[in-house]
Copies of this chain bind each other. A is one copy, B any other.
Amino acid sequence: MSIRHGLLALLEHGPKYGYQLRSDFEAATGATWPLNVGQVYTTVARLERDGLVQPGESDAEGRVTYRITEGGRHEVTQWFATPVARQGRPRDELAIKLALALTTPGVDVHRVVQTQRTATLRSLQELTRLKAHADERSDVAWLLVLESMIFQAEAEIRWLDHCETRLAVSAPAPGSTRPASAKAPRRATEVSR
Contact = CB atoms under 8 A, between A and B. Distances in A.
A42 interface: no
A103 B27 CA distance: 11
Interface centre among A103, A156, A163 (most CB of B within 10 A): A103
Contacts of A148: 92, 94-95, 98, 159
Contacts of A2: 90-93, 96-97
A29 B95 contact: yes
Contact of A105 (B5, B13, B149): B13
Contacts of A33: 91
A164 B120 CA distance: 26
B144 A5 contact: no
A96 B29 CA distance: 6
Interface in A111-130: 111-112, 115-116, 118-120, 123
A9 interface: yes
B151 A159 contact: yes
Interface string A35-74: 0000000000000000000000000000000000000000
Chain A contact residues: over half helix, strand or loop, or mixed?
helix
Nearest to A141: B99
A170 interface: yes
A83 interface: yes
Interface centre among A100, A105, A156 (most CB of B within 10 A): A100
18 contacts: A9-B100, A13-B103, A30-B99, A80-B97, A81-B112, A81-B115, A84-B116, A89-B93, A90-B90, A92-B145, A98-B144, A99-B142, A99-B145, A100-B141, A102-B140, A148-B159, A152-B152, A154-B155
Given A13-B105, A28-B100, A30-B99, 13 more contacts: A3-B91, A5-B96, A9-B100, A13-B103, A28-B103, A33-B91, A80-B112, A81-B112, A86-B153, A92-B152, A94-B148, A95-B145, A151-B155
